[in-house]
Amino acid sequence: MFIFRALWWVFLFLLAAICGGLFFLTGSATVVEEFDVMPFEGEAESFAEPAPMELPTIAEIAVEDGRFGVLVSALKQTGLDEVLNDPNARFTVFAPTDDAFGALPEGTLAQLTDEELTDILLYHAVPGTFFAEDVISFETVTTIQGGDIVISVEDGVFVNQAEVIIVDIVASNGVIHVIDAVLLPTVDVDADDATEEAVEEESEDDTDNE
C-alpha cells in the first residue's frame, strides 16, 4: 500500500512537471511572436523619403548666382525684383551677365530713367515657361514689354544679337536662359517719323499764320 501511494505521488509530480514545461514553452513562443511584430519607430523614420526641396524663384536665383549683380541692382531699382519673386507667376527670362552689361557704352545705365530701365528689363522677360527646346522652335517671342525678340539657330542659339550661353536654369516660377549681351528694345522708326512730320507741319502752319 505504501509503495502504491509513493508511485502515485511520483506520477502526480511528473505530470505537474510535464504540464509546467508545456506552459512555459507555449508562453515563450507567444512572447517571441509578439516581439517580432512590434513596430520599431526608429527604423520607420530612417527609411522615410526626404521631403522634396523647394526651388528658389527667378529673383532668388539671380541674387544667389553671383553673375547677375548689375541685373539684380536694376531689378531692385525698378521694383521688378518683386515681380520675379512672385511664386504664382510664370516667366522665361533671358538674363544678361555682368559682363554683358559691362559691354554697353560707358554711362549707358546711368543716363536711363527708371521708366526706360524698366522698359529694357521687361524686354528680357517673356510670360510663360519656355525651355530651350521650346525656344528654338520659335521664330519670335513677344516680351512683357510688348516688343518681339527674334530667335535664330545657327552656330548657337541667338535672341536678337545676343547668344544664349546657358539654358534651362529652372526656378519655381519659370526658367532662366543666360545671354552674353543686353537686349535693347527696337524703336518704332515709322512712329518717330510721323511725330517729326506732325511737328514740322505744325511749325509751318504757325509760320504761315504769322
CA angle centred on 111, ends 109 and 114, rounded to 5°: 75
How many C-beta atoms lie closer than 10 Å to residue 103's C-beta? 13
Length of the chain: 210
Count of Cβ atoms closer than 10 Å to residue 43 Cβ: 9
Q: What is the pLDDT of residue 18?
A: 55
**pLDDT of amino acid 14:** 55
Give CA–CA dist 25/31, Å, rounded: 10
pLDDT lower than 70: segments of the chain: 1-53, 187-210
pLDDT in tens, 107-150: 999 999 999 999 999 999 999 999 999 999 999 999 999 999 99
Rounded Cα distance between 80 and 61, Å, is 14
Instruction: Note the pLDDT of residue 12.
Output: 55
Say which residues have a Cβ less than 8 Å from residue 53's Cβ, sequence separation at least 6.
none
Q: Which residue from 130, 62, 66 is spatially nearest to 95, judged by alpha carbons?
A: 62
| b/e burial code for range 148-171 (CB count within 10 A of at least 16 → b) | ebebeeeeebbbbebebeeeebeb
pLDDT at 189: 40
Half-sphere exposure of 114 (CA within 13 A, CB side): 7
Q: Is the pTM of this model over 0.75?
A: no
* Burial class, 132, CB count within 10 angstroms (exposed 0-12 / middle 13-18 / buried 19+): middle
Domains and CATH numbers, the chain: 58-189 (2.30.180.10)
Is the CB of residue 124 less than 8 Å from the CB of residue 147?
no
Cell of 36: 517580432
The predicted structure's pLDDT at residue 195: 37
- Nine-digit cell string for 129: 515657361
Query: What are the C-alpha distances in Å from 149 to residues 43, 80, 105, 191, 201?
Result: 56, 20, 22, 19, 35
